[in-house]
Amino acid sequence: MATVYFDAATRRYAGVHAAPAVDAITLDIEDGEFLVLVGPSGCGKSTTLRMLAGLEPVDDGRILVDGHDQAGVRPRDRDIAMVFQSYALYPNMTTAQNMAFALDNSRTPKAQIRERVAEAAKILELEDLLDRKPGQMSGGQRQRVAMGRAIVRQPKVFCMDEPLSNLDAKLRVSTRSQIAGLQRRLGITTVYVTHDQVEAMTMGHRVAVLRDGRLQQVDAPEVLYDKPVNTFVAAFIGSPAITLVESAVSDGRADLHGLAVPVDRTLAAAATDRVVVGFRPESWRIVPESDDGALQLTVELVEALGSESFVYARRPGTDGSGAERERVTIKTEKRAHVEVGDVIRVRPVESEAHLFDAGTGERLVG
């Protein structure tokens, strides 16, 4: 168990003009914490993880594990275990041999190896598969072996690089909670990379959002959702995405597709020029036909998920040309009976507005 500290860690790939793949990331991970690195593909999250594991050099800055600078420390000496997206099991070894390999290499006594492998196999329900080779196992089983290989080492840090993305949807959900539970039980500091924001929100103690190699925000999942620091985080976290509308502010009101929404004057004053107003899907209410002042929208698409539905709608008269920006996403109960082509009236819950500077994209705080 250990703390991990990224101190302005930077990674540049060849090509001087290109922006760094990982750009001066500073991140303090506590002992026993489950931290999720999330971001769109190419944002540098995997590279960050690989730098911690020692598979990529750190070009600038430092990475400390338990207060020790890892510069020049070989991957094998870092005591960090990694679970790869492809699992990277040794195809020539059985499950038991795969799990025992690291312990073999560290000259752990045979009896202890057997004990630890048996324990990990029990935790991961791999007892019947100990003599199988990876080629004879399903994806889910291989994934568990990969986890087992990391667990038996009892390392300082777990690094997990999208370990669930090769599983089917249902297995992914069950394995998700399994991994989170396992991490809590073992209490080993874990850095987990994913592009799936649902995984990020459900698994981590804290979530770090990356974009273009830069750290955007590190916070608990709820904070990330309720107080995103900029429009990128606001749009990335939450599914379906938040509705963001750019508008000028006049007379303390922002114009939301023609609906005047009051905004905090001090907040609006902090903006350089225009603001971006955002409402999450659950911050919209469908109001009766009689409410003349409400926003009138034509329903374009309804996603019925069973217990709830998401309604995608836009103002009448605007065709598809306005694309996503014109669209409003509304969460409704299943009793709402909204259908494609319906004209509905909606109002946002004004107190739940997110307000950003249109120029910088930063959240406006008073």
- Residue 77 or 339: the one with the smaller Cβ distance to another protein is 77
318: its two tokens: 């605007």
Shortest Å, Cβ 89 to another protein: 8
Judged by CB under 8 A, the residue of 45, 116, 144, 153 near another protein is 153
- Residue 22 or 83: the one with the smaller Cβ distance to another protein is 83
- Residue 149 or 363: the one with the smaller Cβ distance to another protein is 149
Shortest Å, Cβ 22 to another protein: 18
CA 208 from centre of chain = 7
Binding segment (CB under 8 A) for another protein, from list 3-11, 49-57, 223-231, 299-307: 49-57
Q: How many residues bind another protein (CB under 8 A)?
A: 27
Shortest Å, Cβ 80 to another protein: 7
Shortest Å, Cβ 99 to another protein: 10
Shortest Å, Cβ 304 to another protein: 37
Query: Any contact of residue 51 with another protein (CB under 8 A)?
Result: no
- Residue 54 or 221: the one with the smaller Cβ distance to another protein is 54
Shortest Å, Cβ 76 to another protein: 4
β-bridge partners, 364: none
Site for another protein in 82-121 (CB under 8 A): 82, 84-86, 88-93, 101-102, 105-106
Judged by CB under 8 A, the residue of 67, 72, 109, 135 near another protein is 135
Shortest Å, Cβ 151 to another protein: 13
β-bridge partners, 348: 284
Query: Any contact of residue 241 with another protein (CB under 8 A)?
Result: no
Query: Any contact of residue 81 with another protein (CB under 8 A)?
Result: yes
CA 144 from centre of chain = 22
Shortest Å, Cβ 148 to another protein: 12
- Residue 85 or 298: the one with the smaller Cβ distance to another protein is 85
The strand order across the sheet containing 243-247 reads 243-247, 275-279, 354-357
- Residue 14 or 323: the one with the smaller Cβ distance to another protein is 14
Residue the block writes with tokens 């630890």: 116
Query: Any contact of residue 53 with another protein (CB under 8 A)?
Result: yes
Query: Any contact of residue 57 with another protein (CB under 8 A)?
Result: no
- Residue 36 or 102: the one with the smaller Cβ distance to another protein is 102
Where do contacts with another protein occur on this chain (CB under 8 A)? Answer: 53-55, 74-76, 78, 80-82, 84-86, 88-93, 101-102, 105-106, 134-135, 149, 153
